[in-house]
A and B are shown apart, each in its own frame.
Chain A
Amino acid sequence: MVKEEEQNGSEKGVSRREFLTQAGWALGSAALGAGWTPSADERALQAAPEFESKYACPVDAQKFATFEELQAHFATAHPHVAAPVTTLRVNERDYPVQIEPQWTLQQTLQFKLGLTGAKTMCDRGECGSCTVIIDGKPALSCTTLAVECEGKSIETIEGIAANSRWNPLIQAYMKHDAMQCGYCTPGFIVTAKALLDKNPNPTEEDVRQALAGNLCRCSTYPRHAKAILEAAQGLRDGK
């Protein structure tokens, strides 16, 4: 795990951790290591754990300390096996990662990068809970092959939560209690962020249209529009 540097300085708005606790989210406890102290928003992302399996050889399961060692092992031990080793650019950070061609982006984010925010609910492209932003457009990570994401810029809920600019959106979700179990919520917020990037001043109809690909089993629908419209106002005012 990347070490947290000591941060002095006061925090503006809600940190990722406070957000998670206050909102009662289960973004996945793995994302929050034990003894993790909240620090600058940007630091929150660094807390994504690097799974042990990250550098395990998919063919013979040998483990390696670094990515380079795995690559070297692959080249000598399994020259005939295609091993997609690639760099995924997630939340403006480059992750070297070894992926299997049949892995979805969602699986890769969750099990290789430890980014547990994009969740599978249906795993069939029907519910939107796995939404991430790929090159500026919301996309379903459960229905996207990770190997096809090389060279693309991926944004996940973790990146949005870690960026203080988007505090108004998260605050508004908390204020309007726009979630119950919270399982679908990352998908909604990521979709909302993509909408507000493109259209900072949406109407309620725009919001409803943008969210039409996200399902919520707890039926929190009316609250999303309220929260997002208020967030749009807050973002425009630069709050």
Chain B
Amino acid sequence: MRRFDHLNATSIQEATSALKNKSAVFIAGGTDLIGRLKDEILPGYPELIVNLKTIQGLDYVHEEGGLLKIGAGTRLADIAADPIVRLRYTALGQAAGRAASPHIRRMGTLGGNISQLHRCWYFRAPQNRFECLRKGGKTCFALAGDNRYHSIFGAVNGCIAVHPSDTAPSLVALDARIKTTKRTIIAEDFWDVRVASCTVLDTDEIVTEVQIPAPDVGARSAFVKFALRKSIDFPIVNAAVFVGGGAARICLNAVAPKPYRATKAEQVIAGKSIDSRNTGAAGAAAAADSRPLEANRYKVQIAKVLVERALLECASAA
């Protein structure tokens, strides 16, 4: 890596004000950032890295006032192992336990997992070999190139790279709120497609907490993931489902530049019993708007089946 300065922030204020004078980025677990810096995939290289791990009080999981509150600095492994999360917020526990590898789950934080940059082999190719849209260039190389892992629901701002987070679809399905240093954002509105960023956050804005409304008694949620390897792998497609009060919330990820809420599937399954006939229809509805590219038609079928499986898992857990 090229040289940068490093600051161990001791408070949120210190971290955000450190950004005033220099081009700086935050580091939490570092599992996405360090690879990015090594490969120098972004046009600008930071002068300063601000460490958020040294800020006390960003690492917690507890229920309070009808909400589950998770500090943004909480490690994925701790979320996956938390008994309350596993029992009542199952989709998040399962997602946190399936992301990456055990080592990375012990290092990576929830705030970082939802803020990680897109995965696209043109975008991520070392040394900016492809000056794509996400770097301020004019071309999306994946459109004409090898797009087997790319979006099946079209582009956002011209980019068809997918958002690879495993926890993101669970947060959308569980109707989470993302609390930052400036505001509270509905999970669904948290992601965006910009040059060098995949969230709506300002450069000096930090995620501090994730809040999930406590589910009603009898509500269920589930997360399923399809990847080429069982461990150390990003999803080809993943899906999270929340079922409660006769309605469902269904979200897919790795199928579009942002986590994809499958509202048509939600409508199909709403008020119906969750059995293989209805879930099949819901799966089909989830993919109804898909527009696969030349090389990723196979992902449509995977998306359908994952929605079915996640729904059935909720039913069998009931």
Interface of A with B (CB < 8 Å)? 82, 84, 100-104, 123-128, 131, 137-140, 142-145, 147-148, 191, 209-210, 212-213, 215
Knowing that A100-B3, A145-B49, A210-B102 are A-B contacts, what are 20 other residue pairs whose CB atoms are under 8 Å apart, sorted by A's residue number? A101-B3, A101-B4, A102-B2, A102-B3, A102-B6, A125-B31, A125-B34, A125-B103, A126-B101, A128-B101, A138-B102, A138-B103, A142-B34, A143-B30, A143-B31, A148-B6, A148-B53, A212-B230, A213-B231, A213-B232
Min CB distance B29 to A, Å, is 8
Per the bound structure, the CA–CA distance linking A205 and B115 in Å amounts to: 32
Q: Which residues of A contact B103 (CB under 8 A)?
A: 125, 128, 131, 138-140, 191, 213
Q: Report the bound CA distance from A137 to B53 in whole Å.
A: 16
Residue among A84, A138, A148, A215 making CB contact with B106, cutoff 8 Å: A138
> Could you tell me if A212 and B102 are in contact, using CB atoms closer than 8 angstroms?
yes
Which of A84, A100, A145, A191 is B34 in contact with, Cβ under 8 Å? A145
B interface bracket (residues with beta carbon within 8 Å of A): 20 to 34
Determine if B5 is an interface residue (Cβ-Cβ < 8 Å).
Answer: yes
CB of B186 within 8 A of chain A?
A: no
Contact A102 B4 (CB under 8 A): yes
Within 8 A of A (CB), among B208-246: 230-232
Known contacts A210-B102, A213-B102; A104 and B34 CB within 8 A of each other? yes
Q: Please, which residue of chain A has its CB at the minimum distance from the CB of B39?
A: A124
Q: Is the CB of A209 within 8 A of B102?
A: yes
Residues of B within 8 A of A (CB): 1-6, 8, 27, 30-31, 34-35, 37-38, 49, 51, 53, 100-104, 106-107, 230-232
Given that A101-B4, A124-B35, A125-B35 are contacting pairs, would A144 and B107 also be in contact in the complex, using a CB cutoff of 8 Å?
yes
Is A84's CB under 8 angstroms from B6's CB? yes
Contact indicator B3/A140 (Cβ below 8 Å): no
Pairs of residues from A and B, 6 with the lowest C-beta to C-beta distance, nearest first: A213-B101, A101-B6, A212-B231, A213-B103, A102-B1, A213-B102
Chain B residues contacting A138 (CB-CB under 8 Å) are 102-103, 106
Q: What chain B residues lie within 8 Å of A123 (beta carbons)?
A: 38
The closest CB in chain B to the CB of A150 belongs to B8
A144, B106: Cα distance in complex, Å: 12
Q: Which residues of B have CB within 8 Å of A137?
A: 106
With contacts A139-B106, A212-B230 known, is A101 near B34, CB below 8 A?
no
In the docked arrangement, what's the CA distance between A103 and B34, Å?
Answer: 10
Tell me whether A124 and B230 are in contact in the complex, defined as CB-CB below 8 angstroms, given that A148-B8, A213-B103 are known contacts.
no
Cβ-neighbour of B30 out of A82, A103, A144, A212 (below 8 A): A144
If A102-B2, A145-B30 touch, whether A140 touches B102 (CB-CB below 8 Å) is: no
- Note all chain A residues with C-beta closer than 8 A to B101: 126, 128, 212-213
26 residue pairs bridging A and B, Cβ less than 8 Å apart: A82-B5, A82-B6, A101-B5, A101-B49, A102-B1, A102-B2, A102-B3, A123-B38, A125-B34, A128-B103, A137-B106, A139-B103, A139-B107, A140-B31, A140-B104, A142-B34, A143-B34, A143-B35, A145-B27, A145-B34, A145-B49, A147-B8, A148-B8, A210-B102, A213-B100, A213-B232
A140–B34 alpha-carbon span in the complex (Å): 11
Complex Cα gap A144–B30 (Å): 7
The CA of A142 and the CA of B31, in the complex, are separated in Å by 10
Pair B6/A147 contact, Cβ less than 8 Å: yes
Report the bound CA distance from A82 to B48 in whole Å. 12
Residues of A within 8 A of B27 (CB): 145
Nearest Cβ distance between residue A148 and chain B, in whole angstroms? Answer: 6
A212 pairs with B5, CB closer than 8 A: no
Residues of A within 8 A of B230 (CB): 212
Cα A215 to Cα B232 in complex, Å, equals 9
Nearest CB in chain A: distance from B222 CB, A: 20
Query: Which residues on B sit within 8 Å (CB–CB) of A124?
Result: 35, 38
Partner pick for A148 among B51, B102, B104, CB 8 A cutoff: B51
Q: How far is the CA of A4 from the CA of B234 in the complex (A)?
A: 48
Are A125 and B3 CB-contacts (below 8 A) given A145-B30, A148-B53, A212-B230? no
When distances are taken between beta carbons in the complex, the residues of chain B under 8 Å from A104 are 1, 34
